[in-house]
Amino acid sequence: MSAVRYRAGFARADITAFVPELSLFGWGDPRNRPLRVAKPLHARAMALESASGERLVYVCCDLGMISEALRRRVWARLESASIALDEHALVLTATHTHAGPAGISDYLFFAMAGPGWSPALCDAIADRIAAAIGEAVAALVPARLSLHETVIPLSEPVAFNRSVRAYNRNPDVTPVTEERRDEAVDRTMVVLRVDHASGAPLGMVAWFGLHGTCIHADHTVIHPDHKGEAATQVEAHYAERGAPGFVAIFAQTSPADVTPNHRWDGRRGIEVGRYADDLESAAFVGEIQARHALAAGRGAGIELRGGVSFAMSSLDLFDAPVDAEFAHGRVGLRTAPAAVGWSFMGGTAEGRGPLGAVARLLPKLGQAKARLLELCGREPSAQDPKLVFWDLRRADEGRVLGFFAPKHPVVPLIPDPHTRYFAEAIRHPDTAASPCAPRHLPVQLVRIGELALAALPFEPTVTSGRRMAAALASRLPGVARVVVNGYANGYAGYAVTPEEYDEQGYEGASTLYGRLTVPALCTKLVQLVSTLRTDREARPTEPVESRLAPIRHPIAKAIEEEHRT
């Protein structure tokens, strides 16, 4: 029997919390407010330690995203508890359920989902995440790790590309028809299985990219969606077999253009899943993932033998450099300050936006702009061909619809809670001087033996994820699999390929920093590889930014009092 090279520990904590006055995060629909808890939300933590003592903690939360504010609070609690952990060795990620709480981001653009943010809610969730991390570290025992893969067959109706036109623009894919959009996804599930040195099962992490959108905007419940369903089903499986402490983590990869919904419901006016009942659809999709993860873990895998290393760096996405290797040989290219395009307001077939009635026409605005630039012989900017709906630079300087200043007298008169919140928020001097969306974001690279993990604060598309994984794989000898894990350590919307960006569909319009976002991420990840080989990057000096000032809600004081109790 081979020598034991790791110690591992797992823990799980209930993080169910919400503010009833705030909509749920994900749909941006004021009617989508939580009235009850259908199923609890959890944070599931895995702590790993190499033979040389390097420690890594991976946490996956049943949330729509991980905000920078939430990560800061979790880290502060770990420091207060004197938990021995390098800040670069904490991976904090989300399942991207759309039936989880809003109110955890202090950037105006994402606070608009509520609309608003609650520091007390953020604190309550951070307390439970930190508790799970502490329990996982305390549970460290000698362990063996094995890496497994399985391909979920097309016979399983689990994942469908929702943006086929944009996907087909990529020269490195095989074009598909709308009828075959289940082929335009990455159907590979990667499973990290962890067992005690004695052979007893401890836990697992299963990575599979699929949007957390089984529960639609016409619901008013808290629910972990299909990832949470899969986790609880696997945990119940092991509990029945004498391992009640087994923790199953079902995490995301690159699902920006991948949905579980594939059936048009004329009555609801949206695409839905297998069943008329969304909760039943979530359980169905979760069961498919649970079943394949269990089967993969029982199959032959690669025993991990290498060390644990990690690196994290802050990237200025308002002005990030792009290496010529990822820009067809062009030099000097950079990303652009954040802006959202018109198609963002149209939404998708599974969740219509305010301009949903004309959603099919909105991409044509950007495409017409591209054609006009071509006819004029003008060099496109980093945001072209996006037709900007909202400039997300300083709140008091940006423009909505290209001409409305935030303090325009007509803005407070618009009868919409999101707009009213916007008008109120920018009256605060700290908010007015702050970016509406993050400028500096963390990019993280982790290696666990033969497994590499790129943790990004974005929603990458299938092809974006493949390109970033390929850029890393060619530079990481001995690595059997690279996983690109979105929704990690922060959040800044979508990350599509330049070709998908040119379509200017929903995902392209929601890629805030322009068409070079993914090439810039490839550039930064490749830079981190050389740092990773030495196991450590000198901790960067984090830029200081003003954050969105708290706009308190009536429930906030009650939450604080209950939390203190």
Q: Could you tell me the residue ranges of all domains in the chain?
A: 6-313+439-532
Helix (H) or strand (E) holding 11: strand 6-14
Does the structure show a pLDDT above 90 at 173?
yes
Band of the pLDDT at 413, cuts 50, 70, 90? low
Regarding predicted confidence, which is higher, 429 or 499?
499
Question: pLDDT digit string (tens) for 144-164?
Answer: 999 999 999 999 999 999 999
Residues 217-245, mean pLDDT to the nearest whole number: 97
Furthest C-alpha separation in the chain = 74
Does the structure show a pLDDT above 60 at 263?
yes
Candidate from 117-131, 326-340, 499-513, 540-554 with smallest mean pLDDT: 540-554
Q: In terms of DSSP bridges, do strands 201-207 and 247-251 run parallel, antiparallel, or are they unpaired? A: parallel
Angle made by CA atoms 540, 546, 547, in degrees to the nearest 5: 100
Residues 249-253, mean pLDDT to the nearest whole number: 98
**Residues shown for the chain:** 565
User: Hey, what amino acid is at 376?
Assistant: C
pLDDT attached to residue 370: 85
**Cα–Cα dist 404/419, whole Å:** 12
Candidate from 50-64, 408-422, 476-490 with smallest mean pLDDT: 408-422
pLDDT attached to residue 411: 57
In contact, 434 and 548? CB cutoff 8 Å:
yes
Rounded mean pLDDT of the chain? Answer: 90
Burial of 378 (0-12, 13-18, 19+ CB in 10 A): exposed
pLDDT attached to residue 401: 54
Band of the pLDDT at 104, cuts 50, 70, 90? very high
Does the structure show a pLDDT above 60 at 42?
yes
**Cα–Cα dist 49/140, whole Å:** 8
pLDDT attached to residue 555: 40
As a whole-number percent, the residues of the chain with pLDDT over 90 amount to: 75
pLDDT attached to residue 375: 87
**Hey, what's the torsion of the CAs at 474, 476, 482, 487, to 10 degrees?**
-110
User: Hey, what amino acid is at 431?
Assistant: T
Question: pLDDT digit string (tens) for 183-214?
Answer: 999 999 999 999 999 999 999 999 999 999 99
Band of the pLDDT at 534, cuts 50, 70, 90? very low
Beta bridge partners of 24: 101
Does the structure show a pLDDT above 60 at 544?
no
pLDDT attached to residue 556: 39
Regarding predicted confidence, which is higher, 546 or 67?
67
Helix (H) or strand (E) holding 522: helix 517-532
Does the structure show a pLDDT above 50 at 67?
yes
Q: What are φ and ψ of residue 125, in 5° steps?
A: -70, -40
As a whole-number percent, the residues of the chain with pLDDT over 70 amount to: 90
pLDDT attached to residue 565: 30
**Cα–Cα dist 252/344, whole Å:** 22
pLDDT attached to residue 136: 98
In contact, 517 and 495? CB cutoff 8 Å:
yes
**Cα–Cα dist 50/33, whole Å:** 44
Compute how many other C-beta atoms are within 10 angstroms of the C-beta atom of residue 24: 28
